[in-house]
Amino acid sequence: MNQVVKKTTKTAFFALGGLGEVGKNTYCIEHGDSIIIIDAGVTFGDEYLPGINYVLPDYTYLVENQEKIKALIITHGHEDHIGGIPFLLKNISVPTIYAPKLAASFIKYKLDEHRIKSKSRISEIDSNSNIKVGPFVLSFFDMTHSIPDTLGIEIDTPNGKIVHTGDFKIDLTPVGKDIDLHKIAKLGESNITLLLSDSTNIEVPGLTISEREVIASIHDVFRNTSGRLIIGTFASNVHRIQQIAEAAVIFKRKILVFGRSMEKTILLGRKLGYINVPDSYFISPEVAKTLRPEEILIFSTGTQGETMAALSRIAAGQHKHIKAAPGDTVVLSSSAIPGNTAAINKVVNLLSRAGVNVLTNSVISNIHASGHASREELKLILKLFKPNYFCPMHGEYRMLKLHAELAHELDIPKDNTFVLANGDVLLLDKGKVTKAVSRVHAGDIYVDGKDINGLSTAVIKDRKILSNEGLVAALVTIDAKNNRLLTKPTILSRGFIYIKENAELVVQAETLINTTLTDLFKKDRVTFGEIKNTIRNTLSTFLFNKTRRNPMIIPVIMNMNDSEEK
C-alpha cells in the first residue's frame, strides 16, 4: 500500500474500522506524503469477548506511516467515533485534532481521564469552517443526530471530491440544529466523486421518528407516574437527556444522576449550554431521602444490561444509594444493541420482581428514537448528493450490501458501488474510482482495562474455551536426567468436571498418560516440548471421546533435577 500511493499521483481511501461492523469508525484518506484520519472510535466487549473492555482498530499502518499523518477530523462526540483517541495517541503523534465543540470537550475530558499529555492541538470546527490540510481542503455541513454538533465533511482531493456523511438522520423537527439540506443539495451540484454514507438503519423502512415525538411520550410518562421515576438512556444522547431534564423542571421533580458516563455528559452538557436546568434541580442522594417519591427523577446508565452499570446494580439490590421498590417506574429510553437482549431481559425481570413498572419502546409508546437514517432518508441523501461513485460505511456486511443495492435502484451503476471490508483500498484518479489489488493491514486489538498493548486473538480464544469448557491440568513429576517418570501423573480440573463424582474418569486419564509417557521415555532423548504435546494430544482425544467436550489442557512438568539444583 505504501508504494501504491507513494509512487503514483492517486488518492487512496481505506478504513481501519467501521466497515463490516457498527462501531470502531476509523477512516483514512491518503495522498502522496499526507494522511488524514476521520474519526477514531471503539467498540465494547460483550459476552463473546470475556474480560474485554474495548476493541480497537489495529493502528500498525498508521504507526508505520507516522510521518505522513497530518490531522484527525472528528464528526461528532459518540464513543464509536472518539473512544479510540487516547489509545491512538499512545501509538502515534497527531499534529491537530479538528472536532466540533461538544466532541472537543469530550476529547479533552477523556485525555485527562487517561492521564495523557498529548502534544496534539485540539481545534474546534463548525459548519462554517474551512481548513487546508496538506493537499486536502475540508469544509463541513450540519447533520442531525442524537448528539449536538454533528457534522458531515466535504474533502476536496487532487483527484476528486469525497463526501463523508458522518452519522445522521433527517429530522425536520430536531431538538438542536437543522440538517443543512440546502448546503447538501448545493454540494450535489458540484460533481461529487465518492460518497461515504452511514448504513446503520438501512433495514428499517420509512422514516426515523423525530426526537420531539419521543419527548411527547416522555411527558406522558411524567404525567402518569406517581412514584419515583428512573430513566435509563444512552449517556451520549445529549438531546434526550436535555429534554428529560427540562421535563423534570416542568413536572417539578428533582434530579439524581447515577453512572460515571452520565455524570460526565451532564457536567459537560451543562457547562457548554446544551442542558439548561437550574442548579437547584440537581440533588445528592442524601437530599433525595428527604423528598417524596413523586418529587424524584433518577438518570441512570445501564440500558444495555451492563453488569456494573447503575441500573443493573439497582435491579440486583446492590446499589449503595437506592433500591428498587414497588411504585417505582423505570423507563428504558433506548434500543437494544444486538447481542445485549439477554442481559437487558435479566435486568427487566429483576426490576419486575421487585414490583417496579418497566416501560420500554413499543409501537404504542415512542420513548426512543434512533439517531440514524432509515431507508427513505438514505434514498433522499443519495438523490441530493448524486455521487458518481458510492461506498456505504458504518454497518455490518449485510447493511453495506443492502445500501449498495439501494444505490443501484437510484441509478448509480453497479460497477460504481463498492462494498468494502476494513483494509480494502479505493483509488481515486482524476475523477475515476477503482478498487486496488493491494490492501492495508487491518485487524482488531482487544484491550483489557487501559493497557494499549492489547491482547491477541489467541488470548480471546483461550478465554472462550475456559468460559465454555473449563480446564484440565496434568501434573507430571519426572527425572529428566535419567529419562523417567517419578510418580504417577495427577489430574486436576476447574470448570470441566467435579472430580469426586468422576473418579473413574480421572483414574483412567491418569493411567493413560502414565502409559503414554512411559512409552515416550523409551526414546534416548525426550524434550519438554514432546512431553507437553504428548500430554495435550492424549488427554484432549480421550476427554473428547468420553465427554464430547474440549477443555483447555495445561501440562505442568516438575523436574527433580531442577529442584535439586536449586
pLDDT per residue of the chain (566 residues) written in tens, 0 to 9: 454 455 679 999 999 999 999 889 999 999 999 999 999 999 875 555 555 667 889 999 999 999 999 999 999 999 999 999 999 998 899 999 999 999 999 999 999 988 888 889 999 999 999 999 999 999 999 999 999 999 999 999 999 999 999 999 999 999 889 999 999 999 999 999 999 999 999 999 999 999 888 888 889 999 999 999 999 988 888 989 999 999 999 999 999 999 888 999 999 999 999 999 999 999 999 999 999 999 999 999 988 878 778 898 999 889 989 889 999 999 988 877 766 788 888 999 999 999 999 988 654 467 788 999 999 999 999 999 999 999 999 999 999 999 999 999 999 999 999 999 999 999 999 999 999 999 999 988 877 655 555 545 556 666 666 767 788 888 999 888 888 888 889 988 888 877 777 888 989 999 999 999 998 988 878 888 888 889 989 998 998 888 888 888 888 888 876 544 43
3-state SS assignment for residue 491: strand
What amino acid occupies position 333? S
The angle that helices 211-224 and 238-250 make with each other, rounded to 10 degrees, is 40
Report the distance separating Cα 56 and Cα 72, nearest Å: 16
**Range list for CATH 3.10.20.580 in the chain:** 470-565
**Range list for CATH 3.40.50.10710 in the chain:** 211-360
Say if domain 470-565 classifies as CATH 3.10.20.580.
Answer: yes
Predicted local confidence at residue 365, as pLDDT:
61
Report the distance separating Cα 323 and Cα 301, nearest Å: 15
Strands 34-38 and 26-31: antiparallel
CB-based contacts of 346, cutoff 8 Å, min separation 6: 305
Side by side, the strands of the sheet bearing 43-44 are 43-44, 54-57, 444-447
CB-based contacts of 516, cutoff 8 Å, min separation 6: 534, 538
Report the distance separating Cα 564 and Cα 566, nearest Å: 5
Report the distance separating Cα 101 and Cα 106, nearest Å: 9
CB 90 within 8 A of CB 450: no
Predicted local confidence at residue 363, as pLDDT:
47
Predicted local confidence at residue 350, as pLDDT:
92
C-alpha cell at 285: 442522594
Q: What is the H or E stretch that residue 541 is in?
A: helix 528-547
**Range list for CATH 3.60.15.10 in the chain:** 2-206+370-457
Side by side, the strands of the sheet bearing 136-143 are 130-133, 136-143, 150-157, 160-164, 194-198, 389-393
CB 221 within 8 A of CB 367: yes
Annotate 550-564 with b (16+ C-beta within 10 A) or e (fewer). ebbbbbeeebbeeee
* Closest residue by Cα to residue 513 from 493, 494, 533, 489: 489
CB 511 within 8 A of CB 503: no
Predicted local confidence at residue 214, as pLDDT:
87
C-alpha cell at 127: 459548519
C-alpha cell at 142: 450540519
Report the distance separating Cα 539 and Cα 553, nearest Å: 7
CB 416 within 8 A of CB 440: no
Q: Is the dihedral of CA 373, 376, 381, 387 positive or negative?
A: positive
What amino acid occupies position 514? N
C-alpha cell at 279: 442548579
Predicted local confidence at residue 235, as pLDDT:
87
* Closest residue by Cα to residue 369 from 217, 183, 557: 217
| Domain at 211-360: CATH architecture | 3-Layer(aba) Sandwich (3.40)
Report the distance separating Cα 550 and Cα 349, nearest Å: 33
C-alpha cell at 121: 492541538
Predicted local confidence at residue 89, as pLDDT:
94
Report the distance separating Cα 312 and Cα 322, nearest Å: 12
CATH class of 2-206+370-457: alpha beta
Provide the H-helix boundaries in 354-429.
375-385, 397-409
Residue 238 to residues 147, 263, 305, 546, Cα–Cα distance (Å): 5, 12, 20, 56
